[in-house]
Amino acid sequence: MSGAPDTLAISAAARDALQTWLDHQRALKGAAENTLTAYRGDVTDFLAFMSVHHGGTQGLGALAKISISDMRAWMAQTRNADVGPRSLARKLSAVKAFYRWLAEREGFEATAVLSTRAPKFTKKLPRPLAIDAARELIDCVEVQGRDPWVGLRDVAVLTLLWGCGLRISEALGLTGADAPLPDVLRIKGKGGKERVVPVLPAARDAVNAYLRACPHSLEPRVPLFRGVRGGPLSAGAIQKVMASARMQLGLPASATPHAMRHSFATHLLDAGGDLRAIQELLGHASLSTTQAYTAVDTLRLMEVYNSAHPRA
């Protein structure tokens, strides 16, 4: 088999099972809509491949009989479609999650799917900004806004990313009901997990300055951060602002809004912050995710050691 999978080949029973699983992920596990969309695409492609691979539409009984050779064929076809190791590992993870649920519901053994090994790939480490670079970025976005209030808005958003460790979606998800910012924010992050985030005075001041200058009315249920015409501010707008600022400052392409959040964690670690406390502040489900920041710190330490140690 070659080319894109034929999604029309998926049986009605398989489609219904997939939808039920997605509903389960949404209702019981609080999966975000972006996650559910990715799950749907990944599992649909897998089911379509298996249907065509075996010669036509098949029911759930056929899915229970998928073999190791079938899995190898799917992975080979996916790699041939220029899907990289990281993306293939993500697809396999979605397929395994679906099959684990389906096998339990239908009462079959899913060893062939669950035992399939993900391809190895080099894990990308976050690239935090130096403290001076983060400050320069915030100063730069303030003066490049088309109107003074727009510059203050962009400063407020980036200060929340750097000063509170918010994801950009979390910052843009704040509403008028959150203003003025309290000493701590209750943020609902990925998977609906709630965490408590302290608000630094600098972040509160930046948001207050924006609110005083914003020409649009602020109501409890409307977004706190507004676009020029009054609609919700988009993540793309902030990304463009940072792209322009980093070009002016000569910073690398890795200087993105998410890099400000990475910088929050790394700068806390540099100052002696506790790893588990930072995990809670970031809203990471696993400590291993937060430990990536210690790897960055170690890399920087080794660079200094190799360049400066008398015996280097």
- Contact residues for 97 (Cβ-Cβ < 8 A; gap 6+): 39
Is 221 a known active-site residue? Answer: no
Q: Which of 204, 261, 262, 267 is labelled catalytic?
A: 261
DSSP string spanning 209-223?
Answer: HHHHH--S---TTSB
Query: Is 188 a residue of the active site?
Result: no
- What are the start-end ranges of the H helices in 81-231? 85-106, 111-114, 131-144, 148-164, 168-172, 201-213
Q: Which amino acid is at 243?
A: A
Residue 42 has, within 13 A of its CA and on its CB side, a CA count of 22
Phi, psi of 116 (to 5 degrees): -65, 130
C-alpha distances out from residue 19 to 10, 40, 57, 113, 243, Å:
13, 8, 17, 20, 39
284 tagged catalytic? yes
* Cα torsion angle, 304, 270, 171, 38, sign: positive
258 a catalytic residue: yes
- Give the active site residue among 39, 99, 210, 293: 293
> Which is the catalytic residue, given 96, 127, 190, 216?
190
Q: Is 39 a catalytic residue?
A: no
Selecting among 53, 79, 96, 258, the annotated active-site residue is 258
Question: What DSSP state is assigned to residue 285?
Answer: S
167 a catalytic residue: yes
Catalytic residue among 153, 167, 204, 246: 167
Selected catalytic residue, list 246, 262, 267, 284: 284
How far apart are the C-alpha atoms of 144 and 50, rounded to whole Å?
53
Distance, first Cα to last Cα, the chain:
55
SS3 188: strand
Which residues are catalytically annotated?
167, 190, 258, 261, 284, 293
